Amino acid sequence: MQVKKENSRALKVAIEIKKVLSEYLICGTINDYSKVRPSMISITEVVISADLSHAKVFICSIAKDVSDNDCLEFLNQHSHQLRHHIAQSVRLKFVPELRFFIDTSFEYANKIDKLFKSINKG
């Protein structure tokens, strides 16, 4: 988690929101399955602002046949429902606004790995 070390409350909230969102998506309680199966969305990281008002939620699609952009669109359409579930599950005065982003760290790691392999071969 990318939260300042002195703000342990934000770190705890980020961990709890990640857990709650992941469990909620796995349970499949969102009723709209147009393209995306919620259980095939992985929450990779949650970053909370220092004032706990905004949360950046990084996601990737586990399913090969569904794009990350479809997952983003799906989550943005259901952000109100997701915030409502967080409000019921996590004891907070205010539930942070959720912003969803595609996690590109796996692609970046693969790119770096390929570069190292090409250097070792040469």
pLDDT tens for 89-114 read 999 999 999 999 998 877 777 788 88
This prediction has a pTM of: 0.80
Report the Cα 20 to chain-centroid distance in Å: 11
Buried b (16+ CB within 10 A) or exposed e, 67-91: ebebbbebbeebeeebbebbeebee
CA-CA distances (angstroms) from residue 112 to 3, 46, 108, 118?
Answer: 25, 24, 6, 10
pLDDT at 62: 84
